[in-house]
């Protein structure tokens, strides 16, 4: 749902919809001499005329096209004054200008009535027309600085204050533009703002108010504290995280919830860190442990379990789009690559490689890693050869230093590649800015294009027609492999037509004879005699030998054939079409990242890092990615460390300190800036140690708070006064169902050499099991491709199909009723009905039943057809409770 | 299209008032949007829609765009027959539909123009009205998902039902959209013995036992209740659980899917000309009958994929097998809907993602290859004209010569009839607001009453 909030905010920004006609405050009179680029455009922005959904759309609306948010005044002027034979402006009778008639809906207007004849906006437009409808020098009215006052205001619920916006223009003039701005509260439950800039506190918490003058946005903050006579509780922080969280709660006067009980903590931390439910034994042991540091020890233990690296492999593979393959003729495929990608990431997490190094080894990946192309080809051969059961290529690939598969994915380079890098490693969403100025961020199109140039000199995988010409050495190798492949295929063919065929005929005969002799032997044995039995057995052995010779020859031919295909097709194609390296040829030096949009084809000549003013100058052979990574690893990088800190935080709290966690925009205010700074600083000081980061968050009181709210904090969503409920991720949920029912799903992926015992969290791509696919799709699984770069890919909303699936899918009932499942085990384990129920509760919801629950269950079991049936229903119920479905 | 901007502002402004808390949960938002949509679209001609999807691309020049005067290496083996609509000749294998041509419109001028075309992409374009790609574009919703979100049907029935699968090539890969999983179609096949999802729509036990279980669940599911009101996720879960259990308890859906309630003659009428063995998968004509029953029960959108029409080889063998079956099934559906007075308010579509290449040679086993530049759409009911031809192709059936429309126009026309504002924008996952049909395009007015 949160993504929806955010998106609606985007709408808001896009539309600047301030449609309240009631005049609430006395407005200063509109400018006497309105200028087009300074005032008229601002009115368009304020009324939403130039928003993307109205005339600001690329193709305009109903023949009238404005630049988005008025970014290009001269074009807008031409549209307004010259287009359609100038009928939009009537200088002889300004009141009857089409533009005014439409805006006030005196003639039909698709957008309805957007202003009234008595409004200040109307006056601006009318006066401008009256005074000659001239185009002023837009450059003079460029905004040098936009200021909003008060920038931050502390107030009580019900209180009101007024915002003022002042623009300083490049020509040195200054103007109060409050009445030319659109205002927007980013959280209307906390404070509202009207079109005059008057803010009213309606709830408790802090809220950002956004003002926009033309296409320039600016934020002001309001902090509204709760009125209460009760003293703030004396809650003790456990670490510096809590100090910051509590400090803000104290300022808002929102008391935090208590620390949660041990059983809830254990379930929470085990699910969050390893993606698994705690076992009944583990729960009992933990509950009986009296040591005061048991939570700290548990956190350490869990961070060192394989579940931790499995869960974060899932998260990083989602983030990095780890199964997006299939460029023509590159020899790459999801079933080869996705598991390798995963294996590599997992190995790095298991060794807890510092995060900056992790990122660097992905971003600077090359296929050869400095080796000769022959050595690399050997690696490729071994990898392809390892695609069998069990897959030996995975371990081999995991040993590589760098992850070249990242760059072998579809759309990994140029503008789409840059956007993925920005999203995954910098927590920035740049999609909008590809084509136009980002409507609710600071990014301009030139920022994105200049940044994308860093990723344009990576070789693009796939058949390009001229690869053989462009890379003659690779082509030579390609031909060798192709020839070798052909030779092997020939050899296999010869074998099949020769010896295999001959042996096959013998074998056919031998099979018949073998059956006859087997029958004879059986008859003799039945009769109890032994006459001639040995001779027959010798004969049988000879026949068996013929058969096995045939099989061996067949196998040999098949092996040859497979190897032929492997070398001649898979390896050869990869060698020529899929190696990742830095391009140094002359053409590559001239290539620029390009974006094609309805606005045309655009590019930038500069290499400029995001947020930097000056472009960098590259040496002729320099890999621009190196510059990028060096910038990334600078301790003062504004995004890199912060992005991962914020993402890890949001994993545990379901919202980022900056939220959504992939939108580190200056216009998306952080709820706890000091905390985020401090966590980031210490994370960098701890050499980007991910486990340090996890541990620090997990050890905080804030993480260990109860989800049970008190009367004062129930409506708080952003200040961590209590633990926020959230649904288990799809994969974790399915594993939890399997764990509590003692069943598993056959993924039906033997054909692709998947190991037998994978958990759902560990699957690298879609399985052939319909139930698994159904659950993952309904509960939201990332598609791991470049179609959506957003942390919101895993949607957490509820749906009918989810509920129906969990309650009534035949597979769920099969699991509950599994004759070798959890219930069967419990029945064997104990005959006491209460204990049986206790075991079910521990296994499914991680706690013991309370008295009322126990009595209800006992009653149900007593009235059931059989104890087994009764227990099955109880288990079914538990799987369908919110307690099971939610992290709490 | 009218009032699009103001409607859009309304969405936004009213959403603002709710941002940040309880009322912006799935349900609240849904209600909100629904009410806005009604305000936006006003009354709609079509309340329901059936899409009979002819996956792979049926041969337009062998069905509804016959070219008897084209050269022998074009015209193929089938003869045209007159229909009861002046100026429309149809294939001799469709005598029943020929007699009902006064019920439907044939559109000959909407095509993808191969931008994008082909089996992997054209179905996505046709079924969402936007050039959606498997990867790299926004996940535009199918028409049914939009209806699920904006005009959901009765609570005890699914709103968007897919019988079998969406398409032969892309399977169900476009089921999900940026509207969110709550609006995905219910995909199941009541005719398949082993279809788990079909089973899922009925209680897995006798009703009393099911009710008893549901009661036990209610008495055990008492934790985490304190914060309900404030939490959209929980409120959504509760609401859906209630609705889901109501659906399971209600006999409505089960009754609609129960073909034993039909007379054998009716079943025979729908199944007439259905062969057990065919050159290409033929699909099941009983999906026509199930569609009718679901529409009667009140399900707003039903989609099914009727066999496979990608006849690269033996086009005419396949045609003799599949076209008569299609003729029986669709004509029976149109007759029944008409008889029940449902055709006025139910759009019935039959189309595939492309046409087939008019030039096919004269080989005995000639096939027709892909053709992304001309095809047919059969559209009946729900505000489509009765007895009408829109657009034309050249004398070979290769290129549209008259009244060309893009797929966007087709999508906008459907939304128009269904009372949905195609310019209403929704937040895509990237956060950008996207209109239901992103590009402006005119309605296919010639096809509308």
Domains plus CATH for chain B? 43-191+251-447 (3.40.720.10), 196-249 (no CATH)
Q: Looking at the domain assignment, is residue A636 inside a domain?
A: no
Q: Of A183, A198, A225, which closes a domain?
A: A225
Query: What region, left, alpha or beta, does residue B406 occupy, with left being phi > 0 and alpha being psi -120 to 50 degrees?
Result: beta
Is the N-terminal amide bond of A390 cis, ω within 30° of 0?
A: yes
DSSP track, A425-474: HH----HHHHHS--TTSS--HHHHHHHHGGGSSBPPPS--S-HHHH-HHH
CB contact under 8 A, B430 and A431: yes
pLDDT, chain A, mean? 91
Residues A426 and A476 in one domain: no
> pLDDT (tens digit, 9 = 90+) per residue, B208-226?
999 999 999 999 998 887 6
The C-alpha of A420 sits at a distance from chain B's nearest C-alpha, in angstroms, of 11
- 8 A C-beta contact, residue A868 and residue A823: yes
Question: What integer is the mean pLDDT of B289-304?
Answer: 98
A623 and A595, same structural domain? yes
Among A163, A192, A225, the domain boundary falls at A225
Q: What is the tens place of the pLDDT at every residue in A343-376? A: 999 999 999 999 999 999 999 999 999 999 999 9
- Which is more confident, A791 or A665? A665
Kindly tell me if the per-residue pLDDT of B40 is higher than 70. no
Contact B135 A802 (CB under 8 A): no
- By three-state DSSP, how is residue A223 classified? strand
Name chain B contacts of A727, Cβ cutoff 8 Å.
233
- How far apart (Å, rounded) are the C-alpha atoms in residues A86 and A75? 14
By percentage, how much of chain A surpasses pLDDT 70? 95
- Distance in angstroms (rounded) separating the CA atoms of residues A354 and B344: 66
**Three-state DSSP class for B116?**
coil
When pLDDT is cut at 50, 70 and 90, the band that residue A525 belongs to is confident
One domain for residues A568 and A425: no
Tell me whether residue A453 is in a domain: yes
The CA distance from B390 to B413, in Å, is 13
**C-alpha to C-alpha distance for A175 and A141, rounded to whole angstroms:** 11
Contacts of A401 by beta carbon, 8 Å cutoff, 6+ apart: A361, A369
Q: Is the pLDDT of residue B1 over 50?
A: no
Rounded to the nearest 10 degrees, the angle between the axes of helix B264-271 and helix B286-297 is 120
Mean pLDDT to the nearest integer, B404-416: 97
* Cβ-Cβ contacts under 8 Å, B253 against chain A: none
CA B212-B218-B223 angle, 5° bins: 150
SS3 category, A218: strand
**A164 shares its domain with A191:** yes
Going A347 to A353 to A359 to A363, the CA torsion angle's sign is negative
* A444 belongs to a structural domain: yes
On whether residue A355 sits in a domain, the answer given is no
Does B200 sit within 8 Å of A809, measured CB to CB? yes
A 30-49 residues with CB < 8 A to B: 48
A126 and A43 share one domain: yes
Q: What radius of gyration do chain A's Cα atoms show?
A: 34
Assign 3-class secondary structure to A350-397.
Answer: HCCCCHHHHHHHHHCCCCCCCCCHHHHHHHHHHHHHCCCCCCCHHHHH
Q: A11 and B135 in contact by Cβ < 8 A?
A: no
B224·A805 Cβ contact <8 A: no
A472 shares a domain with A614:
no
* Residue span of the structural domain in which A541 resides: 468-577
Task: Name chain B contacts of A886, Cβ cutoff 8 Å.
Answer: 224, 233-234
* Set of chain B residues whose Cβ sits within 8 Å of the Cβ of A780: 181
Please determine, for residue A675, whether its predicted confidence score (pLDDT) is greater than 90.
yes
One domain for residues A453 and A487: no
**Phi-psi sector, A210: left (phi>0), alpha (psi -120 to 50), beta:** beta
Answer whether residue A366 is part of any domain: no
Any B CB within 8 A of A709 CB: yes
Question: Where is pLDDT greater, at A533 or B150?
Answer: B150
Whether A480 and A553 share a structural domain? yes
What value does the mean pLDDT take over residues A454-461? Answer: 94
Decide if A179 is inside a domain: yes
pLDDT in tens, A121-172: 999 999 999 999 999 998 899 899 999 999 999 999 999 999 999 999 999 9
Dist. CA A51–CA A71, nearest whole Å:
11
A864 touches chain B (CB under 8 A): no
ipTM: 0.83
Q: Which residue has the higher pLDDT, A750 or B41?
A: A750
Q: Domain check: are A560 and A589 in the same one?
A: no
Contact list in A for residue B219 (CB cut-off 8 A) is 856
* pLDDT at residue number B7: 30
A740 close to A277: Cβ distance less than 8 angstroms: yes
Query: To the nearest whole angstrom, how far is the Cα of A163 from the nearest Cα of chain B?
Result: 19
Which residue in chain B has the smallest CA separation from A706?
B224
DSSP for B379-418 reads: EESTTB-SSEEE-EE-TTS-SEEES-B-HHHHHHHHHHHH
Please, which pLDDT band fits residue B30 given cuts at 50, 70 and 90?
Answer: very low
Q: Residue A798 is nearest to which of B12, B217, B237, comparing CB atoms?
A: B237
Pairing verdict, β B388-390 and B104-107: parallel
| A726 in contact with chain B, both atoms CB, cutoff 8 A | yes
Any B CB within 8 A of A300 CB = no
Chain B interface includes A4 (CB < 8 A)? yes
Q: Is the same domain home to A76 and A167?
A: no
**By the 8 A CB rule, do A597 and A588 touch?**
no
- Amino acid A211: pLDDT: 92
Q: Contact, A461 vs A327, CB < 8 A?
A: yes
Q: Indicate if A151 and A212 belong to the same structural domain.
A: yes
Across residues A828-834, what is the average pLDDT? 96
Q: Tell me whether residues B432 and A431 touch, CB distance under 8 A.
A: yes
B179 contacts in chain A (CB < 8 Å): none
Single out the residue in A225, A240, A265 at which a domain terminates.
A225
- A239 Cβ under 8 Å from any chain B Cβ: no
Q: Give domain status of residue A513, yes or no.
A: yes
How many Å lie between the alpha carbon of B281 and the closest alpha carbon of chain A? 22
* CA–CA separation, A386 and B347 (whole Å): 54
Mean pLDDT value of segment B361-372: 94
φ, ψ at A440 (rounded to 5°): -135, 40
The C-alpha of B247 sits at a distance from chain A's nearest C-alpha, in angstroms, of: 9
Count of domains observed in chain A:
5
B205 → chain A, closest CA residue: A808
Contact call for residues A451 and A418 (beta carbons, < 8 A): yes
DSSP assignment of A260-319, as one string?
PPHHHHHHHHHHHHHSSPPPHHHHHHHHH---TTHHHHHHHHHHTSHHHHHHHHHHHHHH
Judged by a CB distance cut-off of 8 A, whether residue A857 touches chain B is yes
Judged against a pLDDT cut of 60, whether residue A8 lies above it is answered with: no
Q: Is the pLDDT of residue A654 over 60?
A: yes
Q: What is the pLDDT of residue A793?
A: 54
Rounded Cα–Cα distance for residues A515 and A503 (Å)? 18
Query: How many other CB atoms are there within 10 angstroms of residue A459's CB atom?
Result: 22
For the entire predicted model, the pTM comes to: 0.87
> CB B233 to CB A726 under 8 A?
yes
Contact at CB, B24 and A61, closer than 8 angstroms: no
The reported pLDDT for the residue numbered A18 is: 35
A777 Cβ under 8 Å from any chain B Cβ: yes
Of B173 and B433, the one with more pLDDT: B173
Q: How confident is the model at residue A51 (pLDDT cuts 50, 70, 90)?
A: confident
Provide the pLDDT for residue B181. Answer: 83
pLDDT, averaged across chain B? 88
- A882 vs B24: CB contact, 8 Å cut-off? no
Same domain for A535 and A474? yes
CATH number at residue A173: 2.60.40.10
């Amino acid at each position: 749902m949160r993504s929806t909030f955010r998106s609606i905010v985007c709408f808001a920004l896009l539309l600047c919809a301030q449609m309240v006609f009631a005049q609430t405050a006395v407005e200063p009179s509109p400018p006497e001499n309105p200028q087009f680029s300074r005032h008229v455009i601002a009115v368009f922005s304020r009324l939403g005329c130039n928003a993307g959904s109205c005339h600001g759309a690329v193709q305009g609306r109903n023949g009238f096209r404005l630049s988005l948010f008025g970014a290009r005044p001269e074009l807008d002027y031409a549209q307004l004054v010259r287009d359609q034979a100038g009928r939009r402006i009537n200088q002889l009778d300004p009141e009857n200008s089409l533009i005014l008639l439409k805006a006030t809906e005196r003639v039909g207007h698709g957008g309805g009535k957007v202003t009234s004849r008595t409004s200040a906006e109307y006056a601006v437009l009318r006066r401008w027309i009256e005074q000659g409808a001239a185009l002023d020098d837009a450059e003079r009215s460029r905004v040098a600085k936009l200021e909003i006052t008060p920038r931050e205001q502390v107030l009580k619920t019900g209180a009101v204050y007024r915002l003022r916006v002042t623009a300083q223009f490049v020509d040195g003039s200054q103007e109060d533009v409050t009445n030319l701005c659109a205002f927007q509260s980013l959280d209307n439950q906390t404070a509202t703002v009207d079109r005059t800039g008057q803010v009213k506190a309606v709830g408790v918490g802090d809220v950002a108010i956004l003002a926009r003058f033309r296409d320039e946005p600016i934020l002001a903050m309001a902090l509204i504290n709760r009125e209460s006579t009760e003293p703030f509780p004396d809650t003790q922080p456990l670490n510096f995280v809590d100090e910051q969280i509590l400090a803000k709660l104290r300022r808002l006067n929102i008391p935090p919830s208590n620390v949660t009980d041990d059983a809830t903590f254990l379930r929470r931390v085990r699910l969050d860190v390893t993606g698994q439910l705690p076992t009944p034994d583990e729960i009992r042991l933990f509950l009986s442990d009296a040591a005061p540091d048991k939570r700290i020890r548990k956190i350490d233990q869990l961070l060192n379990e394989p579940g931790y690296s499995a869960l974060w492999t899932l998260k990083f593979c989602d983030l990095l789009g780890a199964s997006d393959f299939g460029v023509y003729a590159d020899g790459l495929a999801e079933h080869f690559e996705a598991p390798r990608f995963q294996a590599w990431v997992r190995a790095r997490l298991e060794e807890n490689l510092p995060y900056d190094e992790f990122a660097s080894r992905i971003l600077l990946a090359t296929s050869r890693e400095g080796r000769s192309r022959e050595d690399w080809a050997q690696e490729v051969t071994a990898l392809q050869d390892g695609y069998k059961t069990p897959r030996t290529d995975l371990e081999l690939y995991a040993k590589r230093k760098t992850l070249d598969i990242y760059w072998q994915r579809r759309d990994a380079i140029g503008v789409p590649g840059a956007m993925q890098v920005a999203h995954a490693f910098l927590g920035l969403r740049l999609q909008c800015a590809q084509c136009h100025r980002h409507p609710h961020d600071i990014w301009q199109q030139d920022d994105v294009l200049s940044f994308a140039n860093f990723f344009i000199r990576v070789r693009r995988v796939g058949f390009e027609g001229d690869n053989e010409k462009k890379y003659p050495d690779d082509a030579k190798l390609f031909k060798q492999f192709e020839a070798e492949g052909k030779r092997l295929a020939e050899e296999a063919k010869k074998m099949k037509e020769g010896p295999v065929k001959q042996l096959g005929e013998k074998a056919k005969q031998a099979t018949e004879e073998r059956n006859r002799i087997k029958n004879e032997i059986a008859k003799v044995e039945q009769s109890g005699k032994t006459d001639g039995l040995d001779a027959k057995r010798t004969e049988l052995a000879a026949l068996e030998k013929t058969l096995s010779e045939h099989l061996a020859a067949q196998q040999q031919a098949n092996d040859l054939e497979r190897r032929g295909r492997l070398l001649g097709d898979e390896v050869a194609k990869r060698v020529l079409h899929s190696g990742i390296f830095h391009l140094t040829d002359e053409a590559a030096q001239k290539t620029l990242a390009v974006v094609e949009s309805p606005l045309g084809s655009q590019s930038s000549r500069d290499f400029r890092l995001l947020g930097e003013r000056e472009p960098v100058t590259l040496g002729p052979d320099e890999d621009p990615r190196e510059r990028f990574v060096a910038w990334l690893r600078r301790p003062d990088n504004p995004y890199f460390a912060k992005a991962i800190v914020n993402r890890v935080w949001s994993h545990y709290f379901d919202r980022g300190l900056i939220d959504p966690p992939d939108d580190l925009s200056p216009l998306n205010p952080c709820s706890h800036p000091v905390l985020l700074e401090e966590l980031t600083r210490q994370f960098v000081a701890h050499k980007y140690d991910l486990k340090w980061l996890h541990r620090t968050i997990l050890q905080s009181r804030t993480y260990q708070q109860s989800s049970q709210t008190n009367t004062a904090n129930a409506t708080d969503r952003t200040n961590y006064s209590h633990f926020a409920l959230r649904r288990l991720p799809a994969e974790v949920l399915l594993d939890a169902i399997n764990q509590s029912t003692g069943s598993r799903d056959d993924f039906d992926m033997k054909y692709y050499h998947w190991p037998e015992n994978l958990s759902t969290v560990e699957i690298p791509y879609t399985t052939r099991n319909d139930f698994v696919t159904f659950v993952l799709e309904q509960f939201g699984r990332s598609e791991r491709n470049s179609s959506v770069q957003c942390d919101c890919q895993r949607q957490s909303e509820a749906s009918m199909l989810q509920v129906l699936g969990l309650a009534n899918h035949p597979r769920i009932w099969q699991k509950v009723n599994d004759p070798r499942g959890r219930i069967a085990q419990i029945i064997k384990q104990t005959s006491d009905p209460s204990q049986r129920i206790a075991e079910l509760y521990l296994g499914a919801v991680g706690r013991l039943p309370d008295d009322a629950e126990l009595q209800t269950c006992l009653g149900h079991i007593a009235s059931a057809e059989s104890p087994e049936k009764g227990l099955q229903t109880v288990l079914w119920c538990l799987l369908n409770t919110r307690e099971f479905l939610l992290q709490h | 299209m009218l009032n699009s901007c103001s409607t859009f502002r309304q969405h936004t402004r009213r959403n603002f008032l709710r941002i940040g808390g309880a009322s912006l949960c799935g349900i609240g938002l849904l209600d909100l949007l629904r009410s806005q949509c009604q305000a936006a679209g006003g009354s709609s001609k079509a309340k329901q829609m059936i899409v009979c999807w002819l996956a792979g691309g049926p041969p337009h020049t062998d069905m509804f765009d016959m070219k008897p005067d084209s050269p022998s290496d074009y015209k193929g083996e089938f003869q045209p027959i007159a229909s009861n609509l002046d100026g429309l000749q149809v294939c001799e294998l469709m005598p029943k539909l020929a007699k009902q041509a006064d019920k439907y419109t044939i559109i000959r001028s909407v095509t993808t123009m191969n931008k994008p075309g082909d089996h992997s992409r054209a179905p996505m374009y046709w079924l969402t009205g936007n050039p959606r790609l498997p990867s790299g574009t926004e996940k535009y919703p199918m028409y049914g998902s939009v209806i699920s979100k904006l005009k959901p049907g009765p609570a005890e029935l699914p709103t968007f039902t897919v019988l079998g699968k969406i398409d032969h090539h892309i399977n169900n890969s476009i089921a999900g959209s940026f509207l969110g999983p709550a609006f995905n179609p219910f995909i199941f096949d009541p005719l398949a013995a082993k279809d788990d999802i079909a089973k899922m729509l009925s209680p897995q036990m006798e009703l009393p036992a099911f009710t008893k279980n549901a009661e036990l669940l209610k008495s055990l599911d008492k934790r985490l209740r304190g914060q309900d009101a404030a939490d959209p996720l929980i409120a959504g879960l509760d609401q859906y659980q209630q609705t889901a259990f109501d659906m399971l308890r209600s006999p409505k859906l089960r009754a609609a899917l129960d073909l034993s309630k039909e007379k054998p003659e009716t079943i025979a009428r729908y199944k007439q000309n259905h062969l057990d063995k065919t050159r290409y998968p033929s699909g099941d004509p009983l999906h026509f009958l199930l569609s009718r029953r679901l529409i009667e029960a009140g399900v707003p959108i039903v989609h099914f994929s009727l066999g496979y029409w990608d006849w690269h080889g033996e086009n005419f063998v396949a045609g003799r097998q599949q076209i008569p079956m299609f003729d029986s099934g669709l004509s029976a559906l149109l007759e029944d809907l008409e008889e029940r007075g449902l055709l006025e308010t139910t759009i019935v579509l039959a189309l595939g993602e492309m046409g087939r290449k008019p030039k096919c040679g004269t080989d005995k086993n000639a096939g027709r290859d892909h053709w992304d530049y001309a095809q047919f759409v059969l559209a009946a009911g729900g505000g489509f004209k009765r007895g009408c031809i829109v657009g034309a192709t050249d004398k070979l059936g290769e290129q549209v010569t008259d009244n060309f429309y893009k797929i966007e126009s087709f999508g906008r026309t459907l939304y128009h009839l269904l009372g949905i504002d195609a310019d209403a924008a929704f937040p895509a996952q990237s956060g950008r607001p996207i209109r239901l049909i992103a590009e402006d395009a005119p309605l296919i007015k010639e096809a509308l009453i």
